A and B are shown apart, each in its own frame.
Chain A
C-alpha cells in the first residue's frame, strides 16, 4: 500500500482518485533496488495528464529498465493544494507517495505555454528552489521536454536542462550518463557538462545572452567550451522499431482521452504556415498497419479498454488508412471494441467509414477551413477551397448529418475585414448547401457551429516574425463576426483573447520571462488554461513589477536578421525555408505538400520518413 496521504485530507477533496495511484498497469518498485528515481511531471490535472500519449510511452520505457523507477506526478487541484500547504505535505509522486524532492530527476512535459505557471507552482510545492542557480548538490535535476521546449528560453532560469525532440532514445542516454557520473563521483555541474555531449540536450546555464538597447538579442554565446552552438533535435527514424509499450495504465476515473490511442504517424506533410507542430515534428514518419494492429491487439489485451482511437496531426493523410481501419474493424468485431475516429477529411471514403464505425449515431462533423476567404487560405497555405468544403458538407448532409462544426482562426497576418466577413459568408454557404439537399434526403435540425481561435505566432513557423493582433483588435474582429451572423442555424464561439495574448508572450519569449513567471507565481497564478483560475490582472502586475513589456514579444514585427531567442535550436527545417515561406505567404502563393513535391525545408537532414521514401 503506497498511499501516504491521510484519509482526513483525501476525504475532504474533490475526486480523491486523482491522488491515489494504484491503477491497473501502474508500476511499483522498491526504491531501494534502483539507481535512479525519475518523477515524470505533467503540469496539469491528473485527467489531463493521463490523456497524454507521451507520458504513457516514456513511463513504461523508463520502468522497463531495472535501474530506473519512474513515477508520475500531476498538478494537484486547488482544493488539494490548499490541504497540502496547510498540512505541510510536499508534492508527492503517485506510485510511492514519496516527496519529489528526493528524486534524482524531476522531468516536466511542456505541452502548452499556459502550463508554465503550474511548473513553477509544482516546484514550489515540492520545496525545490525555483531558480536553477539556487539548487544545491542535494536537489534533483529539473528537466523538461515536449513541443514547447523548442523555445526553452522563458524557462531558462528555472529548468536545469531541456531535451529537444522525441524522447525515446535520448532519455535513455541521459540515464546512462547519470549512472556513469554517479559512479565517477562528480558534482552537479560536472553532470550538466557531461550531458551537453548528448545530441538534443540543452543546458541553458552554459549560454550567455546579451541584449541591444531596444531589448532584442545582440549575442548568444556558450560560456562552456564543449556546449554546442546549435542544439539539434532528436527524432526516431523508424517508428516501427521504436519502443512502444505493450501495456498502458488504465485509470480508475474517467480521463479526457479514456481509450487506447494508436499513434499512426508523427509529423505532417501539409505545411500550414501557422502550424508549429507541422514543422517541429518533420519529417513525416508512418507506422505500418501491421505494426499498428500488433500494438492495438496487445494493448487491448493488457488494458481491457473498450475503445481505440487513431492519433496523428492529420489522420486522413495516412497512406494506408483503409488497410488500417479495415484491419481494426475486423479485429474489433471479435473483441467488441469500438473504433473512435478522429476528425477526418470528409469524402466518400471517410463517410462510409463513419457509417461502419458509428452505425446509427450521427454526431457532429468537424471541418477546419481555418480562414474565410481563398486569399487568406492561400496565405496560410491551407490547401482547401470553398468548393472542397461545400462538396464535403453536401456529402455529409446527404449522409444524414445535420450538425457541423467549422473551425477558423482570426488575427492572421494580412487579414482584413473582408476576410472576417468571409467566415460568416462561408457559414451561410454551408447553410445553403444544407437546404439544397432535398428535404427527404437530409436530417432535421441543422446546426452550424463556427468557432474562432485567435492566431498566436509560434517559433519555427513562417509567421514567427509577424506581429500578433492586440486584444482590442481581436475583440473588434470577434464583434464584427458576431454582427454578421444572424442565422438561427449558426452558433458562434470564440476564444478569450487575453489568454491568446499571454500565450503569445511565452511562445516567442526570451530569458527575461523567467522572473515574470516567478513573480506571477507569487501572485497566485496557476492553472492559467482553466477559465476560473486565469487571473489576467495578476499577470499584468507581474510584468510591471519586473519591468518587462509583454507587447515587446507580441506586437512587434521582427526583422529576418534579428537573433531570435530560439535560434540556437535546430529542428532540421532551415530559417532559409521559413523566410521563403514567409515571403510566399505575403504574396498569397501556396506550397505543395511533401508528398506532391519536396520544398527542401531542411528536414531531410534527419534521413527519415517521407524524405527518404
Chain B
C-alpha cells in the first residue's frame, strides 16, 4: 500500500479553475510524471484519489490536501520533484507524507480553516475595527444562506472562531479569520463579509479576494500530522 498525503498550493494563475478541473489536472500530471496511480477494483475502475475540502472558484490557497495511492513505492522528494516538473504554473506540491493505513486520519475529520481575506470597500470606514468587535460580541449573527432548498436565515456566530483586521489602507481591509470548515459545519469567508454588509452601516463590499492559509482537524492538529 503506497498511500501518500500531499499538501499543495493553488495560486493566482489557477484560482479560477474549478475543483473538478483541478482534479483532472492532477490526474493528468500524474500521467505526465510517469507516476502510476492505483486504480480501484470493480466494474468501473477509477484512480484512488481523494481531495480534502474543495476551494471556492476564485480563491487561492497555500494549504490544500489530497490523498493518492501510487502503484510504486518512491521517495517523497522524488515524487515532489517529478510532479512539480509537470504541474501548471500556480499548482505546487510542497509536502508529501507517506502513510500506512492505520495512521490515516480521514479528511472527514477536518473542522477548521484559516483565511486571509482582502476586501475592497466602496468607502473608507474609519471605525471598522470597533464595529467588528461589537458584532463579535453578539450571540447571533444572522445571514441569508443559499441552501439546496432555497435561501434560509442561519446563525454564523458559532462558526467564527477568530477574526481580526490585520491590515488597512484606503478602502481596503485585510482580515484574518478562523472558520468552521468540513462536513459538520462549513462557513465560507464571503458569507462573513455579507454579515458585515448587513450589520455595519455603509459597509459595501466591492470585491473580495480569499486566500486559505491552513486547515486543521477537530483537535487543532495539522492535516499532515499523524
* A interface list, Cβ under 8 A from B: 1, 3, 7-8, 10-11, 16-17, 20, 22-24, 250, 252-254, 300-306, 335-336, 360
* Contact B88 A10, beta carbon cutoff 8 Å: no
CB neighbours (8 Å) of B206 from chain A are 8
* Contact B16 A302, beta carbon cutoff 8 Å: no
Which residues, 1 to 56 on B, are CB-close (under 8 Å) to A?
12-14, 16-18, 20-21, 24-25, 27-32, 34, 36, 39, 43
* Contact A303 B28, beta carbon cutoff 8 Å: yes
* Contact A303 B13, beta carbon cutoff 8 Å: no
Is B86 in contact with chain A by the CB < 8 A criterion? yes
Q: Which of A10, A11, A20, A302 contacts B13 (CB 8 A)?
A: A20
Q: Which of B32, B39, B87 contacts A336 (CB 8 A)?
A: B39
Name 19 A/B residue pairs within 8 A (Cβ), A-sorted: A3-B12, A8-B206, A10-B16, A11-B207, A16-B58, A17-B17, A22-B13, A22-B88, A22-B89, A23-B88, A24-B87, A254-B20, A300-B31, A301-B34, A303-B28, A305-B28, A305-B31, A335-B31, A360-B43
Extra 13 A-B pairs, beta carbons < 8 Å, given A253-B17, A304-B31: A3-B12, A8-B207, A20-B16, A252-B17, A252-B24, A254-B20, A254-B24, A300-B31, A303-B28, A303-B32, A306-B31, A335-B31, A360-B43
Give the nearest-CB partner of B90 in chain A: A22
* Contact A304 B209, beta carbon cutoff 8 Å: no
Give the nearest-CB partner of B43 in chain A: A360
Complex: A335 Cα to B71 Cα, angstroms: 13
Which residues, 189 to 215 on B, are CB-close (under 8 Å) to A?
206-207, 209
Give the nearest-CB partner of A23 in chain B: B88
* Contact B207 A7, beta carbon cutoff 8 Å: yes
* Contact A302 B90, beta carbon cutoff 8 Å: no
Complex: A300 Cα to B86 Cα, angstroms: 13
Complex: A335 Cα to B21 Cα, angstroms: 21
CB neighbours (8 Å) of A254 from chain B are 20-21, 24
CB neighbours (8 Å) of A17 from chain B are 16-18, 21
Give the nearest-CB partner of A25 in chain B: B88
* Contact A306 B13, beta carbon cutoff 8 Å: no
Give the nearest-CB partner of A304 in chain B: B28
Q: Which of B20, B27, B34 contacts A306 (CB 8 A)?
A: B27
Complex: A336 Cα to B34 Cα, angstroms: 12
* Contact A253 B21, beta carbon cutoff 8 Å: yes
- Residue tally, chain B, CB below 8 Å to A: 30
Complex: A23 Cα to B27 Cα, angstroms: 15
Nearest CB in chain A: distance from B14 CB, A: 7
Complex: A17 Cα to B128 Cα, angstroms: 35
Given A3-B13, A252-B14, A304:B27 Cβ within 8 A: yes
Complex: A23 Cα to B16 Cα, angstroms: 12
Which residues, 59 to 73 on B, are CB-close (under 8 Å) to A?
none
Among A3, A8, A252, A301, which residue has the most Cβ atoms of chain B within 10 A? A252
- Chain B, residues 82-95, CB within 8 Å of chain A (1/0): the string is 00001111100000
Complex: A10 Cα to B15 Cα, angstroms: 11
Give the nearest-CB partner of A334 in chain B: B36
Complex: A305 Cα to B25 Cα, angstroms: 10
Q: Which of A16, A24, A253 contacts B86 (CB 8 A)?
A: A24
* Contact A304 B39, beta carbon cutoff 8 Å: no
Give the nearest-CB partner of A335 in chain B: B31
Nearest CB in chain A: distance from B85 CB, A: 11
CB neighbours (8 Å) of A7 from chain B are 58, 207, 209
CB neighbours (8 Å) of A8 from chain B are 206-207
CB neighbours (8 Å) of A304 from chain B are 27-32, 86
CB neighbours (8 Å) of B36 from chain A are 336
Give the nearest-CB partner of B22 in chain A: A252
* Contact A1 B29, beta carbon cutoff 8 Å: no
Complex: A156 Cα to B86 Cα, angstroms: 44
Complex: A57 Cα to B138 Cα, angstroms: 62
Give the nearest-CB partner of B88 in chain A: A24
Given A16-B16, A252-B14, A11:B90 Cβ within 8 A: no
Which residues, 118 to 157 on B, are CB-close (under 8 Å) to A?
none
CB neighbours (8 Å) of B207 from chain A are 7-8, 11
Nearest CB in chain B: distance from A396 CB, A: 23
Give the nearest-CB partner of A22 in chain B: B13
Nearest CB in chain A: distance from B55 CB, A: 14
* Contact A1 B17, beta carbon cutoff 8 Å: no
Give the nearest-CB partner of B33 in chain A: A304
CB neighbours (8 Å) of A23 from chain B are 88
Nearest CB in chain B: distance from A333 CB, A: 13
Give the nearest-CB partner of A305 in chain B: B28
Nearest CB in chain A: distance from B174 CB, A: 15
* Contact B21 A252, beta carbon cutoff 8 Å: yes
CB neighbours (8 Å) of B209 from chain A are 7
Nearest CB in chain A: distance from B119 CB, A: 12
Give the nearest-CB partner of A8 in chain B: B207
Nearest CB in chain A: distance from B15 CB, A: 8
Nearest CB in chain B: distance from A86 CB, A: 15
CB neighbours (8 Å) of B57 from chain A are 16
CB neighbours (8 Å) of A22 from chain B are 13-14, 88-90
